[in-house]
Structure 1
Amino acid sequence: MESDVLDILDQVGYDGPLSDEESLLAACEQGFSSSEYNNLLLHLSTRLTQITDRPAGDSLITEDPDRFLLELNRLLTEFCCPYKDVVSGLINGDAKDTKTHLKILLFLGSELQAAEMVASKAATDTDVELDASLQDLRMICKTLNLPDPKRQEARDVLTAVEKEVCVLLKKLPETHIGNPAFKGSLDVEKWNKLEEINDVLSADYECRRRMLIKRLDVTVQSFSWSDRAKVKIDQMAKAYQSKRYSLALKSSVTLAHLLAARDDVCNLVKTSSGSCREKTTCAVNKIRMGAVPDRGGRPSEIDAPLPEMPVWQKRVDGGNRGGRGGRGGGGSWNSGGSRGQWTQGNWKTGRKGHYYH
C-alpha cells in the first residue's frame, strides 16, 4: 500500500519530507503524534477543498488533537470515504496502526488526484469551446511576443502580426521559406469537409497512439518482474511516470498545418536513391551473397494435397449389399484394430468380432 501512496503523492506534485518509503512508514507508524504526518494531511485536505470549493479542509488547522480528529472524520465523511472502519476508528480512538494511517493518505491522495483530473478536463473543455481561429491567433501572438489578442481589436491584432512577420522575413534569406504546398482557395463547404477528414484521421491516430502507449506500459511493467528490479520499483516508477504522462493521446495537427506546409513536403525520395545511400552506405552493404538453396514457396508449383477421407458416392438402386458391402458400390471399411482401414472388399470384423457399420 505504501507504494501506491507514494505514486499518488508523486502524481499530485508532493515533494515534502515524506516522499520516500522509509520516512512515510516511520511517520505512519507514529500516526497523529507525528507533525510531518499531520502536515501532509493538512496539505492534501487543503488542496482538495480548494479544488472542490468545500470549506472542510481549512478546519484541520488546529492545535487541539481531539478537534483535529473530529474535523478529519467530518472531512472523510463528507467525501464518502469507503473505509468505514477508519472513519469510525477516528472517533473511537482506534486509528493507531500503520495500515490505517496509510489508508487515510491513500484516500485523500486519490480524491485529490481525481479532483485535479476533473478540473483539468473542465478547463480543457472550456478551451475547446473557444473559436479555433482565436486559439491559432493567440498562438501566433505568443510566438511573436505580441500582447494577448483578446484585449485588442481583431484588425489591430492582424496588423501587428503582419508588421512583425515582415520584419522577421527581412532578416532571413530569400530561399529560407519556400512556396506553399496548397495554392488553391477554399469556401465554407470545402473547409467543413476538410474538418471532417481531419477529425476522422485524428481519431485513427489517437487509436494507434493508445495502442502504442499501452504496449509501452506493458513492456515497462514486465521489467519489474525480475528479483533485481523489485527492490527498485519506486525508482523505476519515478523515472518513468514523468515521461509517461507527457505523452499526448490526441493529435495536434490542424488545418493550420495544411496552410503552413511548404511544397518541399511533396518531394518523395526513396531510401535506395543515390543521394540517400551516400550517407547510409557502409562496408557491410558491399558484401554480396552467394548462391542460396531454393526454398520454394511458389503457389503455382505446389500440388493439391491428397483427400483426407475417401470420396463417398451416392447409393445406386439395386446395388449389391451382399456380405455387408460398401455403400453404393464404394469401398469397404476394415475395422482391424482400434482404428479401421479403407480397403476394397467387404466389411471385416474387428478384434472383438463385431461388424462395424
Structure 2
Amino acid sequence: MEGDGAEGCLSMEAFAQVAEGGVSSPQFTALCSWLVSELRTLCPLEEDVSPTQGPEDAEMFQIEVSGLLNELHCPYPSLTKGDVTARLSTPENCLQLLYFLSSELLAARLQARKVPRSAEEEDKASEAVREIHHICQALGMAEPDPTCSIHQLMADIESKISEALSTLPPEYQQMEPLLKVPLTSEEWETLASIHKALQTEYQRRKQMMVTRLDVTVASFHWSERAKDCRTAMTEAFKPLRVYDSQITLAHLLAAREDFSRIIKTSSGALRDKTTCAINKVLMIGDVPDRGGRPGEIEPPMPTWEKRREGGGSGGNQRWGKRGKKKKK
C-alpha cells in the first residue's frame, strides 16, 4: 500500500480496520511505513520503518518502530515500555500507534505551512498551481478543491487523461512518448538548468532579430510616401516585438516520437508536408522592378578629379623644408 492507497486509509474507521491485522498484516505495516516516509519529508529523522512482506518480518518491524518512537519522544508508555516484540501485540496498541504517527504527520504539515518560503520557492509553487489549473481546464475538469489532497487530484487527472486517450484513433494511442526513460531528481535539475540556458540563448537571438526588424522598418520610413504611414507601420510591427516563448518542461513530457525528425529541410519527404499554396504562385507578365542597381542611381553622385601633375607636394610648395614661408 503506497501513495494514494495509503492516503485513502487516513480515517478512524479505516485505522481501526487496519489495526485489527496487527504487525503480521502487510497492510498495517505498509500504512505505518507510509506515514513515516511522509513524516521524514518534513522532519530530519534518522530512524525509518520498512513495510513487511509477511509475518516473518514482524520482529524487525517492531524493532524499527521502537527506535522511531524513541526519536520522536513518544509519550505513550504502552508503545515505549516493556518487551519490544510485545508492544504491538494488541489491536488497541496498533491503533494507538497509527493515531500517534498520523498526529505527528499532521502537526509537521501544519508547521511546514507556517515557515516562510523564499521568493524562488513561492514562484515555483505558483507555477505548479498554474500548471494544475491549466491541466484541469484542458481536460474539462472543474477547478480543484483546495481541501483535496495532491494524491487524489493526481489520480483524478490520470483517470481523466485515460478516458480522453481512449477516444483517440488507434494510430494516436500507439504513439510512444519521446522521453521514455524516467529521470531522477538530479537529472531533472540538470534538465531545468539546460532549459534555462536555452531560454537565455533564444532570448538573445530574439533580441538580434528584433534589432534587424527595427532597422528594416526604419528604412521603410525613408520613402516620401511612407512618412504619412509612420504611425500605422509602427503599430503593425509592434506585436512582433513583444513575443515571448512559452515552452516549458511540460512540453518535453508531452512530446511524442513524431516530434523527433532528423531530416534535411530541403528533402522531398519533408517538403511534401511543408508546402503551401503560396509556393505554387507564379508571376506572369511584367515583374515589378525591385531596383537595387547602384550604377543606375540618379545624380547627385560624388565625383572625383584626377590628381594634378606636380600637386603631390601639397603645402610644401609654399613652405620651405624647415617650415619657413618662401618669399615670392
- TM normalised by structure 2 equals 0.42
TM-score (norm 1): 0.39
Higher relative contact order (CA 8 A, sep 6+): 2
